[in-house]
Chain A
Amino acid sequence: MNYDKLLNPVIVAEKPSGIRRFFDMASTMEDCIVLGVGEPDFKTPWSIREAGITSLEKGRTFYTSNSGLIPLRKEICSYLSRRFDLDYTTDEVMVTVGGSEGIDACMRAVLAAGDEVIVPYPSYVSYGPMARLAGATVVPVNTKAENSFRLTAEELKAAITPKTKLLVLPYPSNPTGAVMRREHLEEIAQVLRGTDIFVMSDEIYAELTYGDEKHVSIASIDGMKERTILINGFSKAHAMTGWRLGYACAPKPVLAQMLKIHQFAIMSAPTTSQYAAIVALSQCDEAVEEMRSQYNLRRKLLTSELKRIGMPCYDAEGTFYVFADIRGSGLSSEEFCERLMFEKRVVVVPGTAFGDAGEGFVRISYSYSIDHIQQALRRMEEFMNGLKK
Chain B
Amino acid sequence: MEKILSLIEKQPMLTPAQIAAMLDISEQEVAETIERCKKEGIIKGYRTLIDWDKVSSNHVKALIELRVTPKKGRGFEEIAQVIADMEEVEAVTLISGGYDLLVEIKAKTFQEIAMLVAKRLSPLDDVYGTKTNFVLRPYKVSGVPFVEEDKDERGLFL
The stretch from B18-26, B53-61, B64-72, B94-102 touching chain A is B18-26
Closest Cβ of chain A to B158, distance in Å, is 5
Contact check, B11 vs A371: say whether CB atoms are below 8 A apart: yes
List B contacts of A166 (CB < 8 A): none
Tell me the A23-56 residues at the B interface (CB within 8 Å): 23, 27, 34, 36-39, 41
Residue from B13, B24, B154, B158 within 8 A of A353 (CB atoms): B158
B1-26 Cβ-contact flags toward A at 8 Å (1 or 0): 00000010011011001100111100
Interface: A301 (CB within 8 A): yes
A27 to B153, CA, bound (A): 11
Contact check, A125 vs B158: say whether CB atoms are below 8 A apart: yes
Query: Contacts A370-B11, A374-B13: A301 and B22 contacting too (C-beta < 8 A)?
Result: yes
A354 to B155, CA, bound (A): 18
Contact check, B18 vs A301: say whether CB atoms are below 8 A apart: yes
**Which B residue sits closest to A23, measured CB to CB?**
B157
Interface: B156 (CB within 8 A): yes
Query: Contacts A297-B7, A370-B14: A38 and B157 contacting too (C-beta < 8 A)?
Result: yes
Tell me the B64-104 residues at the A interface (CB within 8 Å): none
Interface: B148 (CB within 8 A): no
Closest Cβ of chain A to B20, distance in Å, is 8
A sample of 22 inter-chain contacts (CB < 8 A) reads A23-B157, A34-B152, A36-B157, A37-B154, A37-B155, A37-B156, A38-B156, A38-B157, A39-B154, A41-B154, A124-B158, A297-B7, A297-B22, A303-B21, A304-B17, A304-B18, A304-B22, A354-B158, A370-B11, A370-B14, A371-B11, A374-B11
* B interface residues with partner A (beta carbon < 8 Å): 7, 10-11, 13-14, 17-18, 21-24, 152, 154-158
* A interface residues with partner B (beta carbon < 8 Å): 17, 19, 23, 27, 34, 36-39, 41, 124-125, 297, 300-301, 303-305, 349, 353-354, 370-371, 374
Since A37-B154, A300-B23 are in contact, a sample of 9 more A-B pairs with Cβ atoms closer than 8 Å, ordered by chain A residue number, is A23-B157, A39-B154, A39-B156, A41-B154, A300-B21, A301-B14, A301-B18, A304-B17, A370-B10
